[in-house]
Amino acid sequence: MNATQIKPDVYWVGAIDWAVRDFHGYMTPNGTTYNNYLVMDEKITLFDTVKYDFSEIMLDNVNQIVHPSKIEYVVINHIENDHATSLDRIMAFAPNATIYITEKGKKGLARFFDISSWNIKTVKTGDTLNIGKRNLVFLETPMLHWPDSMMTYIKEDKILISQDGFGQHLATSSRFDDEFIECASVSELEDSVIDYYANILMPFGGIIKNKLAEVQKLGLDIEIIAPDHGVIWRKNPGKVLQMYTDMASGKANLSVAVIYDTMWHSTEMMTLPLMRGIMEEGVDCKVLKLRATPMSIAIKEFWKARGLLVGTPTLNNKMFPSMAEFLQHVSGLRPKDRIAGAFGSYGWGGGAVKEAYEWLKAMKLETVEPGVQALYRPAPEDDQKCYEFGKEFARKVKEYHAQFE
Ligand code: FEO
């Protein structure tokens, strides 16, 4: 993919990673892109770099516009490996370039590179930098999603370079939202935004809300949002801003994600009457078996729904290991504004459903108890209990959901 003009003298010079499927444990079935940007002004400025494996592609793209040795400023919005590990390649060409980065970014950078000979200036929210005809405004976004993170606004072009924020793991030949929608669909793009938010940004909803308010207060007129992954938002940046506002405010579908695993199909059999009960209450339902579903997709589907029902057989008085892994992931993402319950089968002592509730309550999720359990194989009376619990759970989901409407 060649360098692509976003606005006059502003270019995307990144790389597309069509093949990545495991992004530090996060499944990326659609690959990703590593976006970085070059601005041709009196001071030629590069924003971020790319994952090291793609540094040659980035250098080729830069070279289509200008020789990398001409770069005078490098803005590093985020030091995570997928964006900063090619920095030394740039600095090898442009050793006198000045790097602009947050204080925490500088500290982190020193752990990855020998920065002793680099000219580094630290910046904070509200600091500005004139690069010729343009002025940059820096906006720190600590813990979105690393301590070093920041965004940079190009005032004259009305472009917000938003690093991971508003990104999507989506390898595509489309550089812009409108191009992608034309060849794919709005829902596919939206789904990628939700997937990214659920798996990476979910723990930071409160910070996101405050940061969005801060951006509003700064009165930044944003025409284009240029993230470090996925498509650039030029047709409708308001769309992704609204999606973030909604997700950070607890928006979810009036639906239930039934996420389960099973040993000898007993717990699986319980999902059918549960689903029937849920749907009879007019609540949508999606059922996912953990060992048949990549973890990041299970997380996304959990995040989309207001209600979560986890189903697990008992193994050695504990939850099934795949359910323990799932709840461990969910717990780390510190979800809010969801209601949950549990069900499962057991042979003798039981224990899995109890343990699942302990996890759900430790996450401070609203719970509907005591759930439902079946000995060995669900009998007709167990089916009835599941059906009734499905109905009760759906009613509780509706009540809980009403406060967000
Ligand atoms: Fe895309 Fe936080 O790195």
* Polymer length of the chain: 405
Give me ligand 1 centre to Cα 102, in Å: 16
Domain 256-400 has CATH 3.40.50.360: yes
**pLDDT score at 25:** 86
Distance of CA 208 to the CA centre of its chain: 12
Query: Token digits for 47?
Result: 């924003």
**pLDDT score at 294:** 93
What are 113-157's pLDDT values in tens digits? 999 999 999 999 999 999 999 999 999 999 888 999 999 999 999
Question: Which atom in ligand 1 lies closest to the alpha carbon of residue 34?
Answer: 1
Is the pLDDT reported for residue 97 higher than 80? yes
Active site residue 80: yes
89, 49 contact by CB (below 8 A): yes
Give me ligand 1 centre to Cα 143, in Å: 11
In whole angstroms, give the CA distance from residue 380 to residue 397.
Answer: 25
**pLDDT score at 71:** 98
Task: List beta partners, residue 256.
Answer: 285, 307
Supply the residue whose CA is at minimum distance from atom 1 of ligand 1: 164
CA distances from 177 to 197, 230, 316 (A): 17, 9, 50
Q: Give the ranges where 131-236 is alpha helix by DSSP (H).
A: 177-183, 186-196, 205-218
**Pocket lining for ligand 1, CB < 6 angstroms:** 78, 80, 82-83, 145-146, 164, 228-229
* Catalytic residue (choose from 229, 268, 382, 401): 229
29, 35 contact by CB (below 8 A): no
Which residues, including other chains, have CB under 8 Å from residue 165's CB and lie 6 or more apart?
141, 144, 151, 201, 227, 244
Active site residue 145: yes
216, 210 contact by CB (below 8 A): no
Question: Which atom in ligand 1 lies closest to the alpha carbon of residue 229?
Answer: 1
* Catalytic residue (choose from 11, 34, 78, 268): 78
User: Who has greater pLDDT, 386 or 184?
Assistant: 386
Which CATH number is associated with domain 4-248? 3.60.15.10
Active site residue 82: yes
Torsion over CA of 213, 214, 216 and 217, rounded to 10 degrees?
A: 120
Active site residue 67: no
Domain with CATH 3.60.15.10 in the chain: 4-248
Active site residue 261: no
381, 349 contact by CB (below 8 A): no
**pLDDT score at 218:** 83
Supply the residue whose CA is at minimum distance from atom 3 of ligand 1: 80
Specify the range with the lowest mean pLDDT, choosing from 142-146, 267-271, 371-375: 142-146
In whole angstroms, give the CA distance from residue 205 to residue 245.
Answer: 9
Supply the residue whose CA is at minimum distance from atom 2 of ligand 1: 80
What are 211-224's pLDDT values in tens digits? 998 888 888 899 99
Question: Which atom in ligand 1 lies closest to the alpha carbon of residue 200?
Answer: 2
Strand locations in 191-304, DSSP E? 224-226, 253-260, 284-289
CA distances from 276 to 131, 171, 314, 383, 395 (A): 62, 38, 24, 10, 13
CB atoms < 10 A from the CB of 243, how many? 16
Give me ligand 1 centre to Cα 81, in Å: 7
Percent of the chain beyond pLDDT 70?
A: 100
**Band of pLDDT at residue 1, cut at 50, 70 and 90:** confident
Question: Which atom in ligand 1 lies closest to the alpha carbon of residue 145?
Answer: 2
**pLDDT score at 9:** 98
> For the residues 102-112, what does the mean pLDDT come to?
97
Average pLDDT of every residue of the chain: 96
**Band of pLDDT at residue 266, cut at 50, 70 and 90:** very high
* Catalytic residue (choose from 17, 140, 164, 355): 164
Domain with CATH 3.40.50.360 in the chain: 256-400
Question: Which atom in ligand 1 lies closest to the alpha carbon of residue 163?
Answer: 1
* Catalytic residue (choose from 26, 48, 83, 145): 145
* Catalytic residue (choose from 48, 82, 157, 355): 82
What are 42-86's pLDDT values in tens digits? 999 999 999 999 999 999 999 999 999 999 999 999 999 999 999
Give me ligand 1 centre to Cα 80, in Å: 5
Active site residue 229: yes
Task: List beta partners, residue 17.
Answer: 32
In whole angstroms, give the CA distance from residue 79 to residue 109.
Answer: 7
Give me ligand 1 centre to Cα 82, in Å: 6
What are 298-347's pLDDT values in tens digits? 999 999 999 999 999 999 999 999 999 999 999 999 999 999 999 999 99
Question: Which atom in ligand 1 lies closest to the alpha carbon of residue 164?
Answer: 1
Active site residue 78: yes
What are 23-47's pLDDT values in tens digits? 988 889 999 999 999 999 999 999 9
Active site residue 53: no
